[in-house]
Amino acid sequence: MADPLRTDQARTLAEALGPLRPPEPGEATSRNHRTHHELERLAKVAPPPGVLLKDPEWMAALSACTALADPALYMTVVNHYVLCLGSVVDSASEQQLASADLAQVVGALESGYRKGVFLVTEIGDANSHLAIRTTAEFEPGRGQFVLRTPDPGAAKFSGVGVPGRPQSAVVCARLMVGGSCRGVHPFLVDLCDERRTSPGVEISGALGVESLPLEYALVRFDGARLPYDRWLRGTARIDADGAYHDPLGDDPDRALRRTLDVGRLLWATVPSAAAATARASAVAALRHSQHRRSHGRLAPEAPVLAYSTQQRALFGAAAEAFALNCAATAALDIWQRSQDARPDATAEASQGGRAAETAFSPWASVDRRLSAFKALAVDGAARISAECRRRCGLAGHLTVNRLSGYAGFAEAFDAAGGDNRLVLLDLGRALADEAAPADEVPADGSSRPADTDDPDWWLSVVGTLEQRLTAGLRTALDEGRQQGLEGMELWNPLLERTRQLGQVHTLRLAAQSVVDAVSAARGHDPAQRALVALYGVTQALRLAGPLQWTGVLSRETAASLEAAADRQCTRLAPYLDEVAARLAPPETLCATPLAAPDYAAALHSTLTRPDGGRS
């Protein structure tokens, strides 16, 4: 798949967005109106949602471009297109969409005039997705649903602005039919228009989130009434006698998975957004360090990038950004293949033919691989943007230089779209609970490439580490079960090991995507080979402890990694401009003074004097 930042779709989006400046502190209220206006601009050039949400190239470009231009706008796009309209496209029948009421609100959403949000998280408890308490009770006499929030802890939280622009939400609520709970289902609810909230809806005052400066709020329901067709019911129905039917079964866990299946597209495209911000961060920091002069006594007037510590940090950031870009492509390919293989949008998410069991959160049971790529991409982008910000000193913290916004985006998505820690816990649990193949023997590394400069070296190392961590956790679980332990008593002492296994699994997926990308290139590319080698050694240094205590690497090999990283930085240095050109996003999307040859002049050019003139 082509680079999402260099496609025709990206150029179209860049023209529509125009020059967007990052939000200033304290700008939350007006900021919400700005993103709503920008959403309308995007809607004018994007395909209709039914086409857009099934086109991986368009979705990758939309995610990457909006995240680069303004992470808060990206969050708005995710809520509006991926989660809200995505739920409509996936779960509303043609008959529903033909109804006047639903057609009118969907048309307003498609135009961007009405902003869409997704209300799933409830503020009272951890893991609220597994125990949603907002209810939608069916009244057979009226053929309507009544939404209720039982107590303040069940209030929904999302990027909802105060009334002033019309907004609708897909609300995840427990469907109650004849006194029985039929699982969590999505409902399309009008929250407010230009002047007031809808009857039975209560929107709190604005809440701030510094990492993504939008207007957030708590939403509660007190008898809000919905027509029957506002239930995005998929294959389910309630007959004239008030009886619930679903040909796919009435298991509540299945209903929750189907409702949250809309998250698969989010996880498939978040890596594109994360990779874009990681690339922009690495390139801006590299170029700034090329031009920034050091006045230390060791080397007066030398570029900061001459220091090996700066090289290791920023060359390593560029290498990991390259790897995240490979992983983003892999995630999109997985999503596209799964879409092609599904007979319809209501099919169960596949985990090699079997849905994973829900334990810590519902995410791995919806799609294990895509949730893994989401966790990988966000964690990597957070690490890259934070390190680049640190390496740029004061300049790294200025809003106009964007690094803080990109760091905030990644930090926010550590919890948004499925909490990464819970995703990793479920990944590790699923791997440990799977039956080991009868002929599986933990690899001893004897067939591993000996040279850390080999592109396949890190994949072999991290694959062996995953096997050994899996075998170790299985042994610990077997021992606990032999002692009669189960549930919390069994798992609680092993949670950190479980999380670490989940994390290593994501790193193995990334390593595989890098090797696949290098193999597909089919050519001798010294810059790419140096990037890949540095990425592998950098990751091995981060995991030096587990790699040694599991016996994957000897003490001597682990000690040699520092020298290997320095050697790879030396090899990469002559190709620095080439690497930066490959990774750099278009300036039209995220121009920043930080990357300019004369940083001071570029910074001054962005400033406005109190009298309205330019500095």
- Which is nearest to 396 in space by CA: 150, 561, 594? 594
Considering the four listed CATH numbers 3.10.580.10, 2.40.110.10, 3.40.50.150, 3.30.70.940, the one that applies to the domain covering 116-260 is 2.40.110.10
CATH 3.90.76.10 fits 263-587, yes or no: no
| Buried-exposed string 565-589: b where 16+ CB fall within 10 A, e elsewhere | bebbbebbeebbeebbebbbbeebb
Cα–Cα distance, 174 to 606 (Å, whole number) = 50
User: 449 by DSSP, 3-state: which?
Assistant: coil
User: What integer pLDDT is reported at residue 128 of this predicted model?
Assistant: 78
493: its two tokens: 């002492």
User: What integer pLDDT is reported at residue 523 of this predicted model?
Assistant: 67
What are the respective helix, strand and coil percentages of the chain, to the nearest 5? Answer: 55, 10, 30
**116-260 and 263-587 in the same fold:** no
DSSP string, 342-361: -SSTTSPPPSSSSPPPPSS-
User: What integer pLDDT is reported at residue 515 of this predicted model?
Assistant: 95
Q: What's 435's DSSP letter?
A: P
Cα–Cα distance, 77 to 305 (Å, whole number) = 37
Across the strands, what pairs with 217?
A: 158
Q: What's 251's DSSP letter?
A: -
User: What integer pLDDT is reported at residue 360 of this predicted model?
Assistant: 79
Q: Write the CB contacts of 68 (distance below 8 Å, at least 6 apart in sequence).
A: 5, 276, 277, 280, 585, 589, 590
Mean pLDDT by 10 residues, the chain (615 residues): 90 83 52 83 95 96 96 94 96 90 95 95 85 95 95 94 87 96 96 93 89 88 96 93 89 89 94 98 97 87 92 98 97 91 47 51 84 97 97 95 95 92 94 74 59 92 97 97 95 97 98 93 83 97 96 95 96 94 90 93 80 53
Across the strands, what pairs with 137?
A: 146, 176
| Buried-exposed string 122-139: b where 16+ CB fall within 10 A, e elsewhere | beeeeebbbebbbbbbbe
What are the structural domain ranges in the chain? 8-110, 116-260, 263-587
How far from the centroid of its chain's Cα atoms is residue 299's Cα? 42
Cα–Cα distance, 456 to 516 (Å, whole number) = 10
User: What integer pLDDT is reported at residue 147 of this predicted model?
Assistant: 98
Contact 568, 308 (CB under 8 A): no
Counting every residue written for the chain, the total comes to 615
User: What integer pLDDT is reported at residue 448 of this predicted model?
Assistant: 67
